[in-house]
Amino acid sequence: MRTCKEDVRILEVCLSPDLGGLELYVLRCAKHFKTSMVIAKDSKLAGYLEEEDLKYEKIGRKNPFALAKIIDTCKADVLHVHWTKDLSVAVFAKLFSHQKPKIIQTRHMHMTRFKDDMYHRFLYRYIDGMIAVTKRVHEQIEAFVPQSVRPKVFTSYIGVETPQMLTPEAAMELRRAYGLDGGFVVGIFGRIEPAKGQHVVLEAAERLRQQGLEVKTLVVGGAMDKAYEKKLQERFCKDVFVGFSHEVGALMQACDCVVLATEKETFGLVLVEAMHAGVSVLGSNSGGPQEIIEDGVSGVLFEPMSAEDLAKKLAMVLGDGELRSKLAQGGQMRAKACFDAVKQFREVRGMLKNYQGKEK
């Protein structure tokens, strides 16, 4: 088993069947730490792992015995768990194994209820540490997990790598290839489903067109809700739907701004990616975006799920090139300072390696 440090053997675990920011982050962890990964039999990550020449094992989603066997075979010191539904499998695998690794969970989602029932008290007794992706999630863990079983909690913002930057000519060529040449291009990236707010962005762009402004929305992402996607495509036929794409970094640079419209986004990786790419961003004034964006400095915040407020903010950014440039530069500076992948993985590696014990 390859490791990030010779004296700590990390096993990345993610049995989620989806393919979104969480799952791709786990892939990046395995790549950066140069370690093995355990995925579900129906995981969409297998192809990506093979492309990166990373070792992985497939198991059933509810099979702690198979995970325990992998733990002992590769002598894992740490199980790094990401999907909350994997905690029970990880805990029982730890108990069934001879190796008895520490369990560290990176908590990617909001915690919304108390974990003081017998089942959760049992689980958290065997979890050795938690990494919250925002300060708000950190506060939620401390509020909802009883102190008697609460692991040590750290906060570490997710970072991303600086994308390969396109020349202005290459960005313009990409716009032409997707029928986006001319006018202002608003990008929204993520799984297509109502909670992600594609309808809000498309409605805001339509409002601007009704005011005589030349605006198009670029919608990038696979459809989790096919009926929702079809309805949007029929209603907003002037906008461009790309589907899932491996060219996210390049497509962001083909946009004049990128919007994250999720009502309750825990973090907002899309914003950080766009900021690194030097593109101005707008995000819902809720959850993670509030910690990512300094309103008016490194981006713009708007009222969650309000096409009316978003349209006003887009019109402001569209009509002021100097402001747009200022926001893009401010966002890029903030991304490099606070959301850099190299810094963040170094920080997480230290947390995984040097965890000292539970908070009592």
How far, in Å, CA of 199 to CA of 170, rounded?
A: 29
* pLDDT digit string (tens) for the chain, length 360 residues: 444 444 689 999 999 998 888 999 999 999 999 999 999 999 999 999 999 999 999 999 999 999 999 999 999 999 999 999 999 999 999 999 999 999 999 999 999 999 999 999 999 999 999 999 999 999 999 999 999 999 999 999 999 998 899 999 999 999 999 999 889 999 999 999 999 999 999 999 999 999 999 999 999 999 989 999 999 999 999 999 999 998 999 999 999 999 999 998 999 999 999 999 999 999 999 999 999 999 999 999 999 999 999 999 999 999 999 999 999 999 999 999 999 999 999 999 888 887 644 443
Answer yes or no: do 48 and 144 share one domain. yes
Residue 104 and residue 77 in contact, taking contact as beta carbons nearer than 8 Å = no
> Within a domain: residue 297?
yes
**Are 128 and 197 found together in one domain?**
no
**Residue 14 resides in a domain:** yes
Same domain for 223 and 295, yes or no, is: yes
**What is the pLDDT, as a whole number, of residue 4?**
42
CATH code of the domain containing 40: 3.40.50.2000
Same domain, 348 and 333: no
103 has which bridge partners?
Answer: 79
The encoded tokens of residue 263 equal 């009502």
Considering the domain architecture, whether residues 52 and 139 belong to the same structural domain is answered as yes
Q: What CA–CA distances, in Å, run from 21 to 159, 208, 255, 266, 357?
A: 12, 30, 20, 11, 29
Q: What is the dihedral of CA 34, 50, 23, 351, to 10 degrees?
A: -10
Residue 213 lies in a domain: yes
* Shared domain check, 80 and 25: yes
Number of domains present in the structure of the chain: 2
The token duo for 172 is 């313009």
pLDDT value for 195: 94
| 114 and 200 co-located in one domain | no
Structural domain boundaries enclosing 31: 10-159+341-354
- Same domain, yes or no: 180 and 142: no
Sign of CA dihedral 120, 123, 126, 131: negative
Instruction: Flag whether 32 is in a domain.
Output: yes
Q: Cα–Cα distance between 222 and 242 in angstroms, integer?
A: 9
The dihedral over CA atoms of 244, 246, 287, 18, expressed in degrees to the nearest 10, equals 60
Shared domain check, 319 and 217: yes
pLDDT score recorded for residue 351: 86
Distance CA 123, CA 352 (A): 19
CA distance 135 to 157: 9
Whether 115 and 49 share a structural domain = yes
Neighbours of 176 (CB within 10 A): 12
Are 39 and 116 found together in one domain?
A: yes
Whether 1 is in a domain gets the answer no
Helix (H) and strand (E) counts for the chain?
A: 15, 13
The number of CA neighbours under 13 Å toward the Cβ of 152 is: 13
Given this model, what pLDDT does residue 359 score? 43
Q: How far apart are CA 145 and CA 134, in angstroms?
A: 16
Whether residues 295 and 208 share a domain: the answer is yes
Residues 6+ apart with CB under 8 A from 297: 327, 330, 334
Whether 359 is covered by a domain: the verdict is no
